[in-house]
Amino acid sequence: MNKNNKFKLRAFVSLYMTFAFLIMTVSGIILYIAPPGRIANWSYWSILGLTKAEWQATHIIFTFIFVLATILHVIYNWKPLITYLVNKISGVSSIRLELTIAIVFSLFLFGGTHYQIPPFVNVIDFGEGIKDSWSNESNEPPISHAERLTIPELATELKITTIQLIQKLKRNGYEVSDSLETLEKIAEKYKVYPNEIYNSLVPKNTLENNGKTESQNSSYKPGSGYGRKKLSVIFSENNITWNEGVALLKKKNIKVTEDANLKDIATENNLLPVDIINALKVEKN
């Protein structure tokens, strides 16, 4: 074999890190704007031929191997790296300044993200806004992650027996071999979307009427991104002043110390966001 054609692991590692960085960047951007899992999995949302789950898997695998490649890269360049650092740190004071600034800047980024300080929170909110923009009546599941419902659970959701549901699925061309199969697995078997199967089970006019009823009875829909809304916004949408809303929640032993988002307040009180909405609804009625 020609010496020039000999496989060089060091060169391979460097090239892989370059390609991996590009793929991680693309997959990261796509996941930043991808819809929430409840929508992506229900309607099999995809971009560039890959579903959200496949993009997540791609991002994770390439990141994992990238970390291993980075370790190999450091090992291969250990001596020159150590020599460089020792010479720089001991001989030139400027690197100490850069090192200090880099550490402080990293801590600033971490703290700003953790405490949701602008502009970091704005970047997160912008991405969440794009994610929520994918939501519409045609791709929202009846409940969060409805694709994971087994046949008995789906039958309960549709208010029919398991046998009736299996027979209905069969009439629509979907054979069920195991009652513990999920809607997602059945959809995969027939290469359709979970919402296609669900919509074939429920008449269109029923879906429309249910949608109207839900919107009339309550503005909250579990898993719809409502938990990210500020409590003041929720009060406003329900025609409740801040003091009235806090007082109503206090009666239900729900403590509110600041105008945080619904999810954070629910977590602090060991509740679900829907529990807070229901508390307001019951008191208001």
- Rounded mean pLDDT of the chain? 80
Does the pLDDT value for residue 63 go beyond 90? yes
Residue 81, beta-bridge partner list: none
Does the pLDDT value for residue 203 go beyond 80? no
Does the pLDDT value for residue 207 go beyond 50? no
- pTM score of the predicted model: 0.65
| Total H helices, total E strands in the chain | 15, 2
d(CA 200, CA 168): 9
The confidence score (pLDDT) of residue 23 equals 95
Q: Which residues of 27-52 are buried (b: 16+ CB within 10 A; e: fewer)?
A: beebeeebbbbbbbbbbbbeeeeebb
The confidence score (pLDDT) of residue 209 equals 46
The confidence score (pLDDT) of residue 29 equals 95
d(CA 203, CA 213): 15
The confidence score (pLDDT) of residue 138 equals 67
Helix, coil or strand: residue 133 = helix
Question: Which residues, at least 6 apart from 85, have a Cβ–Cβ distance to it below 8 Å?
Answer: none
Q: Which is it for the CA torsion 172, 178, 180, 184, positive or negative?
A: negative
Confidence band, pLDDT 50/70/90 cuts, at residue 226: low
- Model confidence pLDDT, tens digit, residues 65-111: 999 999 988 888 888 777 776 766 665 555 677 778 888 999 999 99
The confidence score (pLDDT) of residue 90 equals 64
The mean per-residue pLDDT over the stretch 260-276 comes to 79
d(CA 133, CA 250): 33
The confidence score (pLDDT) of residue 2 equals 58
Measured between alpha carbons, how far is residue 26 from residues 65, 68, 127 in Å? 16, 20, 15
Q: Which is it for the CA torsion 129, 131, 134, 138, positive or negative?
A: negative
- Model confidence pLDDT, tens digit, residues 121-175: 888 888 878 887 787 766 777 777 788 889 998 888 888 999 999 999 989 899 8
Does the pLDDT value for residue 208 go beyond 50? no
